[in-house]
């Protein structure tokens, strides 16, 4: 997922996590992953050890799977919360 899409959700997720404490853990996880994505893609001063780990194929695959898992898990949880409000 491109980092520009995860950044857009963070302010709204923060406000939602004030109301629903269950969303706080998702806010923290998505914030950390967004930070890592930004560090990986943007021209910042590189720490050699971190840069080496981030460019390993295993790390890239792991972050891809984590992003896919988060997408489906957050979607299911958001759906459950919306159904709760609907009833």
Tell me what pLDDT residue 57 has: 92
Please calculate the CA angle 34-35-41 and round it to the nearest 5 degrees.
90
Tell me what pLDDT residue 82 has: 80
**Domain residue ranges of the chain, discontinuous segments joined by +:** 3-86
The model's pLDDT over 3-33, given as tens digits with 9 standing for 90+, comes to 667 778 888 888 988 888 888 888 888 888 8
DSSP string of 19-51, one letter each residue: H-GGGHHHHHHHHHHHHHHHHHHS--PPPHHHH
CB 35 within 8 A of CB 29: no
The model's pLDDT over 25-42, given as tens digits with 9 standing for 90+, comes to 888 888 888 888 777 777
């Amino acid at each position: 997922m491109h980092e520009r899409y995860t950044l857009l959700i963070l302010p709204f997720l923060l406000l939602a996590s004030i109301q629903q404490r269950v969303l706080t853990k998702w806010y923290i996880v998505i914030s950390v992953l967004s930070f890592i994505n930004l560090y990986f893609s943007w021209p910042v001063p590189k720490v050699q050890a971190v840069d080496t780990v981030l460019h390993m194929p295993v790390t890239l695959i792991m972050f891809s799977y984590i992003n896919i898992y988060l997408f489906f898990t957050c979607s299911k949880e958001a759906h459950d919360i919306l159904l709760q409000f609907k009833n």
